[in-house]
Structure 1
Amino acid sequence: MAGTKKKQQKTKTSKRPYIVGFWTLFGIGLLAVVLIFLMAGWGAFGKMPDFEELENPETNLATEIFSSDGETLGKYYSENRTPIKYDDLPDHLVEALVATEDERFYKHAGIDAKGFIRAAVFLGQRGGASTITQQLAKLLFTEDVARGFVPRVFQKVKEWIIAARLERQYTKEEIITMYFNKIGFVYQAVGIRSVSKIYFGKEAKNLKVEEAAAIVGMLKNPSYYNPIKRKELVKQRRNQVFVQMYKNGYLSEQEKNSLQKSPLNLDFSPEGHDEGMATYFRVYLQGFMKDWIEKNPKPDGTEYSLYRDGLKIYTSIDSKMQQYAETAVEKHISHLQKEFDRKNERNKTAPFRDLDQEQINNIVKSAMRRSVRWREMEGQGKSEENILASFDKETNMRVFSWDGIKDTIMTPKDSIFYYKGFLQAGLMSMTPQTGEVKAWVGGTNFKHFKYDHVKQGKRQVGSTFKPFVYATAIDQLKLSPCDMMPKNRFTIEAGKYGNVKDWSPANANGEYDGMISLKNALAQSVNTVTARLIDKTGPGPVLDLVKKLGVDTENFSNGPAIALGTEDMSLFEMVSAYSTFVNEGVYVKPVIVNRIEDKNGTVLYQHVPETRDVLNKEAAYVTVNILEGVTQYGSGVRLRGTYAKEFDHYKRGVTGYPYDFKNPIAGKTGTTQNQSDGWFMGMVPNLVTGVWVGAEDRAVHFPGLTYGQGATMALPIWGMYMKDLYADEELDVSKGDFPKPDNLSIQIDCDEYNQENQSETDSIPDELDF
C-alpha cells in the first residue's frame, strides 16, 4: 500500500513539469497574441488608421460629368468611383450581400467567432471567416494581399483590429454603404454605382433582384467571374446567391426557383476614357478643368485633383442631342466611306490624290515619327534605321472598320495607309442666345482617331466664309437681299490690298452673264459678286468683323482672296460666329460648363455669360434672310426634299433627300479646293449647327464634286440630326420664323422691292459703282 502511494506520488511529480510547461507556453502564447495585437494597433506591422482617418477614410472619388438634362456623360478618375448613400441601395442588394458574404453580420462586432472556428477546423473548405467589416477594413486601410504565411497572419490581425474599430465608430448601415462604395470590378468599375451603370446600364437603386445577386456573386473574384467573358459561370454563381438568400429567409422557395431560370440580362456600357458618349468633348473639357484647377486652389491652398476629389461638372451638353448627333455622323460617314473606297479602287496612289511619290513618302514618314511605335523604340535606344525597318514587318493587328473591329495581318506602314483613307467628320451644335454648346462630335471613333475636329482642327472654310463679307457690306452699305449685281468677271488689281498679282476669281458654274440678286448670289455661291462686295468694303473691315465674332485671325492674310474662304478656321469658331447672326448681332462666347461643385455639393464655379455687340440688329437679320435663300433655291434646297441632281448614296438610283423640312432654315454650304473639305452651317431660331467632313490629310479627297461638295459630304449629317431633333418634341427645337427687328428699314420682300424700283439697274445703290 505504501508502495502504491509512493508510485502515485512519483507519477504526479513526473507530470508536473509538463503541466507547468503547457500553461507556461499557453501563457506565453497568449501574451504573444496580445502583444501582436498591441503592436499591430501601434502600427508596428504597417500604418494603422487613427481616429480622424476612421471618421474620414481616404477614398479616391471620380469626378463626374453631367449633361444639362442630368445624365452622366463620363468621369475622370484614378479609380472610377462615385459614392452613393444607404438609401440608394435596394433592400435585395443588401440582403444578397449579407446572405452570401456574412450571414451573422447584424450579430457580431466585426469578427465572427463562429465563422472563424469553422474555417479553422475545416481549413476554409466550408467557407471563410472574413466578415463584411473585415473586408471593408482590408479595402480601406491595408495594402494588397500579403504573400507568405507570416505576413498574411500579420495582415489578418490588422484587419481584425480595424474591423473592431469600424464597428465602434459606424452603424451597420454605414459599414454596408462604405463597403459598396469601395468594391472594385474589372472594366474600371469601382463602387456599386459604377458597377451597376457599367454592367446593367442603370443606377444602383434601380437594380432588380437578379441583377443585384449577379453583382454580389461576382464579388468572390471579379476577374474570374467576368460576365463579358464567362457569362454562364456568372449565372451559376448568381444562382448560388439565390440559394443563400433562400436559406437566410430573404426569398421564398418559389421565388428562388423562378429567379434561377431568369437570363443574365447585361447592358454593358463601359465607362473607360475611350468609350461612352461625347468622348471628344470630354477630352476638351479635361483641358478646361486643368486650367480652372490651376487658377482656383482649395481654401487651404492645395490643388484640387480632377481624378480623386469627386468634383461634379455640370455641362451644357444635352445627352439626347449628343446621341442624335453621334448617330447622324456615324450613319452618314459609314455610307459615304463605301463610296469613297469605291472611287479609290483605280487610284494608284490611294488614298492620296494629286501627290507624287516623294510627297507621299514624306507624309507617311511624318506619321511614323508621331506613332507610339516610334516613340517606344526610340526610347529603347533603337537606331532610326532599325525603327524604319520595323514598319515593314508584318504583324497581327486589330483595326477599325465600319463593319466592326477586324483581326488582320499587315505591316505598320500599311496600317498608316489604311487609316489615312478614312473620312472624318465634326459636328457642333449651339444655342445662339445663351452660347450653350448642346452637341460636340469631334470625329468618327475616338478610340482609333483621337484628333478633335471641333476645336483642335482648323481647315479651309470655303464658301461658308462669304456670309461674313455679305454682313460687312450690309452693315456698311445698307444693302437689300434684292439688290441686283452683275455676274460678269471682276478683277482686283495687284497692289490695291497688298495682293501681289491681279485677282480675278472664277464662278464655279462658269456663268458670267446677266444680273443676280444678293440673295440668289449667295444661294448659288457666285464668286464674282463676293469679290465685288469685298472690294467695296475692303478686306480690313471683314477681318475686323470676323475677329469680333470670336475667330483667331492672327495668321490670316489681309488680301481680298479671304472672301472665298482661303483661311483655316475651326468648327468651334464657325458655329459661334454664325450664332451671332441669329442672336440679332450679339456675340455670345460658347459655354461648355455651367457649374462645378465639390463632392459635398458646394458650388465652386458658376458660369457668367460673356457677350458683346458686333452687328446692329438690322444687318444681322438681313444676313440671316439672305442665308435662308440657300435652303430655298440654292445648294441647300435638298433639305426641302424637292430637288437633288446628285446621286443619293444611301440608295442607288434614287434621287432626292428624305428631310422635307418646311420651316425656315438659314444655312450655307462650303467646298474647298480639290474637294478636301465639305461644310454645312445650318441655323434655326434657337439652334445653330455646323458640320465639317474631310480626311486627316487634305490630299485624301473625292475626285469630283458629285460627292466632294459640302452639300453631299456635310449637309446630310445636318439633315438627319435635325430630323431626329424635331421628332423629339421634348427638345423644343424651333420651327418658327427668325426674330425680325422692329422698324426694319432695309427691304427684304423682293416683290415689293421691285415695285419700288423702276428697273434692275436703278436698284443698285450709287455708292457701289459696279
Structure 2
Amino acid sequence: MSRILQKTSHWLKKAGRGFTNLYRGPWYKKTVVWIITCVLSVILLLIAVDLNFLYLFGKSPGFKDIEHPVTSEASEIYSADSVLIGRFFSENRTPVEYEDISPIIIQTLIDTEDERFYRHHGIDFQGLFAAIKDIASGRARGASTITQQLAKNLFRVRTQYSTGLLGKIPGVKILVMKAKEWIVAVKLEMIFSKEEILTMYFNTVDFGSNSFGIKTACRTYFNTTPDQLTYEQAATLVGLLKATSSYNPKLNPKNSTKRRNVVLTNLYDHGHLVIHGHKATRAQLDSLMALPMIVNPRKEESSYDGIAPYFRAVLPEYIDMLCEKGAIAGVDEENKPDLYADGLKIYTTLDTRMQKYAEEAAIQQMEVLQQRFKQHWGNTNPWQDERHQEIPNFIEDLAKKTTAYKYLETRFPDQPDSITYYLNLPHKVKVFSYDGLKEEEMSTMDSIRYMVKFLHCGFVAIEPDSRHVKAWVGDIDFGSWKYDKVTAMRQPGSTFKLFVYAEAMNQGLTPCDTRIDEWQQYPDTVDGKPTKWTPHNANGTFSGAAMPLKSAFAQSINSVAVKLGYELGIHNVAQTAHAMGIESPLHETPSLSLGSSDVNLLELVNGYCTVIDDGKMNPP
C-alpha cells in the first residue's frame, strides 16, 4: 500500500512539473498556452453546466425540450357565422409563419439586434469581445444574439431552471445563467434553421402592452398584420424591444419616436433601407424620421374584449363540464386543455348578428324602464321593505363587500372612523350611464348609492330544435356589472305557470276545461310551522267566474294557476318542470305555481323550447 502511495505521489509531482513547464518559455508560447487553457476551461465549464455536474449548476433544458418548446398561446373563440369574437389568454399571443412576416421587420431586427446573425452558430464571439472591450472602456452594452434572446424567451433559464448550489454564490449565478443561455442557443442552432429561429423569436418576444408575438403587437399598436408593416412601424416595434415601457409608443411616444429614428438610421447605414426598389437617400430617411408617431388608439387588449362578454365568460365552465363528461373526443378530466395557453380554436353556436340585435334591444328597453323607475321613485331611496320603510344600513352592508372597504379594513384595523372617513371622501370615479361612461366626483358610498339604483336584465335566445344558444346578454354593461343575470338565480314569477298547465295537459285536462277564479286559502308551512296562504290576482280582485284554462293561462290568473297546481299535485308540477329542462331544486309549496322557487333564465328559456320542440328536452 505504501509503495502505491509513493508511486502516485511521484507521478503527481512529475505531472505538476510538466504542467508548470507549459507556462515557461517565450511570451508567444505562454500566450498560446493561456488561450488554449481558457478555451478548454470554458468548454469544460459548459459541459459541466449542461450535465449539471455534481448538482452544482441546476437542471438545463435538454434536446427534447428544445425540439418541442412549450409556449403559451391564446385560444380563439369563433361564432357560428365565422366571426372571431374573443380570446382566452394568459399571454396574448397568436403565432404566425415565416412567410407571414414582412422582410422589412426581419432585416430591421437583424441590423439592430444581431448584424452577424447569419454568420454565427448561436454565440457571436466577435460581438462578445467587442462588448468586453466597450465595458473595459466604460461603455457597457449587450452582446446577446437573437438566438440567445430566443433561449431566454422560450426557456426562462434565469427563472424557470435552477442555478444549483453554485447559483447561491453572489456573482457566480449570472455566470451559470449566461452559460445556460449559450448552451441552449447552440442547441437551437443545431436543431432549427435560421428562418425557424427568427419565426420562433417573433412569435415569443414580449412587445409590451400585454402583446406577445409579432401578430398581436401589430394589431395592438398599428391595427395591421405582420406582412403589411412599413419601415417606421417595424422600427418602432424593434426599437421598443430594448425597453418595452420606456420606448412604448402608447405610453412614451416621444421616447419611442427617438428610438425609432435611431433604428431607422441604423437600417440606412447598413444599406437596407429600400424605397421603390432603390436604396433610400438621406432625404428619404429624413422624411421617414419626420413622420409623427401614429398608433392604434384602442386600449390594451384583455380576455374580456370582443362581442358577447357574458357568453364568453361562461365558456370555460361549460368546456370543463364537457371534459368531465368525456363529450370531447380524446379529452377527459385527466388531460383537459388549458384554455389560456394551448391555442385552441373554440367554435360556438352564437350568431353575432342576433347578438348585436339582442344587445341593442336590451339597452333600448332597459333605458326606457330606467326612466320610469326614476320617475316613480324620484329622490326617494328604493331600498325599502314590504312596509315601505327604508332598510337600515343597506348601503353600509353593501360597502363592506367591496374591495375598497377590505383594503381600508386592512390599512386601519379597529379604526372604523378612519374607514368611514375614506369611504365618504370624494374622488374622481367613472360610472355607467346610458350615454356612456361618465367621470364624476363622488365618494365610494355615493357611487354605491348611484349604481344600486340601476335596473338589470338578462336575455338569452335559444334555437328550439337544435338548442343552440344564439344570443346571450348577461346585463346592460359588462364593465360595470360582471354578475351574469342569465345564470343568476331569480324567482321566475308567472313565467313558471307554463309548467303547471303542461302538467294539466299530461293529466288529461284540455284548454276548454274550467276552473273558478275565486279567493281560496291553502295549507303551507313557514319556518316549519303550519300556516295558511292565500294567492292574489294582479288586479287585486276575483271575478268568481268559471274560466277556461286557455283563458286563465292567457290572462295569467294567479288564483286559477294555484288552484290547478294544488289539484294536480305540487310534486307532479315540479317533476314536469324538471323533465322540461328546469335543473334547479324546486320548493314544493302551493306558491310554486306562481314561480316562488329560484331558477335561472337559461333553464327557463330551455323549458319553453321543450314545448316548441314537440316535448323533447335537450340541454342548451
Same fold (TM over 0.5): yes
Out of 201, 205, 208, the residue aligned to residue 183 of structure 1 is 205
CA positional deviation for 1:557: 3.2
Structure 2: 5+ residue stretches without partners: 1-23, 160-166
CA contact (8 A) 1:466 1:564 kept: yes
Give me the whole-angstrom Cα distance separating, in 2, the residues matched to 1:239 and 1:334. Answer: 50
Cross-structure match for 2:308:
278
Residues 148-187 of structure 1 mapped to structure 2, 5 A cutoff: 151-152=173-174, 154-187=176-209
Cα 1:99/1:431, change in 2 over 3 Å: farther
Alignment-mate amino acid for residue 222 of structure 1: T
Aligned match of 1:49: 61
Please give the alpha-carbon distance, in whole angstroms, between the structure 1 residues aligned to 2:132 and 2:223: 41
Q: Which residue of 1 aligns with 2:272?
A: 248
Structure 2 residue matching 1:506: 3-state secondary structure: coil
Matched, 1:398 2:420: no
Q: By how many angstroms is 1:242 displaced?
A: 5.0
Residue 230 (structure 1) shift: 2.9
Amino acid in structure 1 at the alignment position of 2:95: P
Q: Aligned with 1:501: secondary structure?
A: strand
Deviations 1:279-304 (CA, angstroms, capped at 9, x unpaired): 33333222234455567697996665
Residues 624-645 of structure 1: CA distance to partner in whole angstroms, max 9, x if unpaired? xxxxxxxxxxxxxxxxxxxxxx
Asked if structure 2 preserves the Cα contact closer than 8 Å seen for 1:103 and 1:248, the reply is: no
Name the CA distance, whole Å, in 1 between partners of 2:125 and 2:368.
66
SS of equivalent to 1:568: coil
Partners of 1:168 and 1:58 in 2: how far apart?
18
For residues 122-176 of structure 1, give each alpha carbon's deviation from its aligned partner in whole angstroms, at most 9, with x where no partner exists. 5597975432212111212344599997654554443333222211110112111
Preserved contact between residue 351 and residue 417 of structure 1 (Cα < 8 Å)? no
Q: Is 1:442 aligned with 2:474?
A: yes
What residue is the counterpart of 1:137 in the other structure? 151
Percent of matched pairs sharing the same residue: 32
Please tell me whether the aligned partners of residues 232 and 288 of structure 2 are also in contact (alpha carbons under 8 angstroms). Answer: no
1:458 corresponding residue in structure 2:
489
Matched, 1:68 2:80: yes
Aligned to 2:347, the other structure's residue is in SS state strand
* Offset at residue 317 of structure 1 (A): 2.6
Residues 285-684 of structure 1 mapped to structure 2, 5 A cutoff: 285-291=315-321, 304-333=337-366, 336-337=369-370, 340-341=373-374, 343-347=376-380, 349-350=381-382, 352=384, 359-361=391-393, 363-373=394-404, 382-383=413-414, 385=416, 389=420, 392=423, 394=425, 396=427, 398-402=429-433, 403-404=436-437, 406=439, 408-410=441-443, 412-455=444-487, 457-474=488-505, 476-477=507-508, 479-480=510-511, 489-495=517-523, 500-501=531-532, 503=534, 505-508=536-539, 512=543, 522=553, 524-527=555-558, 530=561, 534=565, 537-552=568-583, 554-559=585-590, 561-590=591-620
CA contact (8 A) 1:497 1:539 kept: no
Report the CA distance shift for 1:214/1:515 in structure 2 as closer, same or farther (over 3 A): farther
Shift in Å, 1:453? 0.9
TM-score (norm 1): 0.62
Q: Which amino acid aligns with 1:248?
A: H
In the TM superposition, what is the alpha-carbon distance from 1:577 to its structure 2 partner?
0.9
**For residue 268 of structure 1, what is the aligned residue in structure 2?**
298
In structure 2, relative to structure 1, the CA distance for the partners of 1:169 and 1:407 (3 Å cut) is farther
Distance in 2 separating the partners of 1:387 and 1:572: 44
TM-score normalised by the chain length of structure 2: 0.75
Partner-residue secondary structure (3-state), 1:434: coil
Instruction: Check the 8 A contact 2:96/2:215 in 1, yes or no.
Output: yes
Q: What's the CA shift string for 1:518-558, capped at 9, x where partnerless?
A: 66655554445545654664544433321112213533233
Partner of 2:464, secondary structure, is coil
Match of 2:10 in 1: none
CA deviations on 1:80-119 (whole Å, 9 max, x unpaired) are: 3343333443444434433443344333322344544554
TM superposition shift of 1:217 = 3.5
Question: Could you say what secondary structure the match of 1:466 adopts?
Answer: helix
Match of 1:165, SS state, is helix
CA distance in 1, matches of 2:387, 2:175: 70
Q: Which moved more, 1:87-96 or 1:44-53?
A: 87-96
- C-alpha contact (below 8 Å) 1:485/1:529 kept by paired residues: no
- Is the CA contact 2:157–2:181 (under 8 Å) kept in the aligned structure 1? no
**How far is the alpha carbon of 1:586 from its aligned partner?**
1.6
Query: Structure 2 CA distance, aligned partners of 1:82 and 1:126?
Result: 35
Cα shift at 1:311:
4.1
Q: Note the C-alpha offset of 1:386.
A: 7.3
Separation in structure 2 between the aligned mates of residue 549 and residue 326 of structure 1, nearest angstrom? 27
Distance 1:95 1:25, change over 3 A: closer
CA deviation string 1:684-714 (max 9, x = no partner): xxxxxxxxxxxxxxxxxxxxxxxxxxxxxxx
Alpha-carbon distance in 2 for matches of 1:19, 1:51: 40
Cα 1:219–1:474 change in 2 (3 A) is same
- 1:573 is aligned with what amino acid? E
Which amino acid is 2:597 matched to? Answer: E
**SS of residue matched to 1:446:** coil
Q: State the Cα deviation string for residues 443-488 of structure 1 (Å, max 9, x = none).
A: 2333442322111x122222322333344445545645xx5979x8
Letter in 2 for 1:581: V
Partners of 2:99 and 2:391 in 1: how far apart? 64
Is residue 491–residue 596 contact of structure 2 (8 Å, CA) maintained in 1? yes
Structure 2 distance, partners of 1:392, 1:503, is: 45
User: In structure 2, how many angstroms separate the alpha carbons of the residues matched to 1:544 and 1:570?
Assistant: 17
1:570, CA displacement in angstroms?
Answer: 0.8
Alpha-carbon separation, structure 1, partners of 2:233 and 2:130: 30
1:225 counterpart (247, 250, 260): 247
Distance in 1 between residues matched to 2:513 and 2:323, nearest whole Å: 55
Judged with a 3 Å threshold, the aligned counterparts in structure 2 of structure 1 residues 88 and 326 are, in CA distance, closer, same or farther, namely: farther
CA contact (8 A) 2:236 2:260 kept: yes
In structure 2, what is the Cα distance between the partners aligned to 1:214 and 1:497?
72
Q: Is residue 508–residue 526 contact of structure 1 (8 Å, CA) maintained in 2? A: no
* 1:179 shift after superposition: 0.8
Tell me whether 1:89 sits opposite 2:113 in the alignment.
no
> Is contact 2:580–2:615 with CA below 8 Å preserved after alignment?
no
**Which position in structure 2 is the counterpart of 1:110?**
122
